[in-house]
């Protein structure tokens, strides 16, 4: 036992906790880069010994990111890996403890979410690629849990959200096709998500902005490989009506499927058929020709989400905010962007 008549030192805490003095010093200073388990252990030992832990009272509450498992284990894993990289790096920078867990979107029930939060001792919740169902929305509102939707949005503005500018990005992508002289354009899409519905709206608004333009929305079932589905849907659409000369695609995986389909039937890209994707995933650069697309800064989305959570944890009654990051055009051989009359 420590003689409590002597002034407690950080070395005493370190000895009891079985860690280095420097680790104790960093925890008491609330510095980032320490695992949450070690942090809790040291603070508990310090409390038990009667050491004043002023830093502990100002520590940022822990947070948890629940990520849609189909996104991380399917083709979009590279998209969400970028977001997680941004979340992790920014959380470490501000000293926010941060855990990640995968969950099937259908299993994101109030009971499951509550269990995950309690398991890691988190207060703040990031829902990454998950549009919360009605029951979860009600529970989150009632529990007043700080929530940030990452790569998501709440049409009712009950929760903070951060996403690419889906409407404006889709509008800009379609405008690129229109400026290249195309007037009959396909849009291949799918998914129930709010973010994707915004891309459809952007496409339709751009088509409506130019007289004499026809746009056709093709919704894919997303029952298997989206690129394979896009390939089949493109072949079917062009067999029915070969007058379409361009496609704006919901993402680059779909654009690759379209590219394979049109080249298969002998159309030259971009001379006979133009294609623009979205997200600027690695497959866009590997395609032949390189896909024209719209770049989403995925790391920046993650970093922004941490800043929003930091604010929300300190201002829990502030109105919900949604932040949209602009997406930027990436040129590629699938679209001739030279000036057209």
Q: What is the block-wise mean pLDDT of the chain (341 residues), using blocks of 10 residues?
A: 60 91 81 72 86 60 90 70 94 91 92 95 95 96 96 95 98 98 97 91 98 97 92 98 98 97 98 97 96 97 97 94 97 88 55
The predicted structure's pLDDT at residue 74: 58
The predicted structure's pLDDT at residue 6: 56
- Residues 159 and 139: their CA atoms lie apart, in Å, by 12
Pinpoint the alpha helices (H) of the chain: 10-17, 21-28, 36-49, 54-57, 69-73, 77-94, 110-120, 134-143, 166-179, 194-208, 226-240, 252-264, 282-286, 298-314
Q: Are strands 63-68 and 98-103 parallel, antiparallel or unpaired?
A: parallel
Residue among 278, 25, 31 nearest 173 (CA): 278
The SS3 of residue 179 is helix
The predicted structure's pLDDT at residue 8: 79
The predicted structure's pLDDT at residue 56: 44
CATH code of 63-163+298-325, in short, is 3.40.50.2300
Q: Are strands 160-164 and 322-325 parallel, antiparallel or unpaired?
A: parallel
Query: How do the domains of the chain map onto residue ranges?
Result: 1-48, 63-163+298-325, 166-296
The DSSP secondary-structure symbol of 187 reads E
CATH code matching the domain that covers 1-48, chosen among 1.10.645.10, 1.10.260.40, 1.10.357.10, 3.30.70.270: 1.10.260.40
- Residues 142 and 137: their CA atoms lie apart, in Å, by 9
| CA distances for 3 relative to 8, 13, 41, 120, 316, angstroms | 9, 13, 21, 34, 43
Assigned fold of 166-296: Rossmann fold (3.40.50)
The predicted structure's pLDDT at residue 50: 82
The predicted structure's pLDDT at residue 308: 97
1-48 with 63-163+298-325: one CATH topology? no
């Amino acid at each position: 036992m420590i003689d409590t008549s002597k002034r407690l030192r950080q070395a005493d805490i370190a000895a009891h906790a079985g860690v280095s003095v420097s680790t104790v010093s960093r925890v008491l200073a609330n510095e980032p880069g320490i695992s949450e388990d070690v942090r809790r252990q040291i603070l508990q030992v310090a409390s038990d010994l009667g050491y004043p832990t002023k830093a502990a009272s100002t520590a940022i509450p822990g947070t948890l990111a629940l990520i849609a498992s189909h996104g991380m284990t399917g083709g979009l894993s590279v998209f969400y890996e970028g977001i997680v990289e941004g979340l992790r790096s920014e959380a470490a920078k501000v000293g926010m403890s941060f855990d990640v867990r995968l969950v099937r979107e259908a299993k994101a029930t109030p009971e499951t979410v509550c269990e995950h939060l309690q398991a890691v001792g988190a207060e703040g919740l990031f829902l990454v690629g998950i549009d919360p169902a009605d029951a979860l929305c009600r529970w989150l509102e009632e529990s007043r849990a700080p929530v940030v939707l990452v790569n998501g949005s709440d049409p009712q503005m009950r929760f903070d959200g951060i996403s690419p500018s889906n409407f404006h990005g889709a509008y800009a992508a379609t405008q690129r096709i229109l400026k290249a002289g195309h007037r009959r354009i396909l849009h291949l899409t799918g998914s129930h998500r709010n973010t994707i519905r915004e891309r459809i709206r952007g496409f339709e608004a751009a088509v409506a902005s130019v007289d004499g333009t026809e746009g056709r929305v093709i919704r894919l079932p997303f029952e298997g490989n989206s690129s394979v589905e896009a390939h089949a849907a493109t072949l079917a659409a062009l067999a029915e009506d070969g007058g379409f000369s361009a496609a704006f695609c919901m993402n680059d995986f779909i654009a690759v499927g379209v590219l394979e389909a049109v080249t298969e039937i002998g159309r030259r890209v971009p001379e006979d058929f133009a294609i623009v994707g979205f997200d600027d995933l690695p497959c866009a650069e590997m395609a032949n020709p390189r896909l024209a697309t719209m770049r989403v800064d995925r790391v920046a989305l993650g970093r922004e989400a941490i800043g929003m959570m930091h604010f929300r944890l300190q201002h829990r009654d502030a109105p919900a905010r949604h932040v949209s990051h602009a997406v930027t055009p990436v040129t590629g051989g699938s679209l001739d962007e030279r000036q057209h009359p």
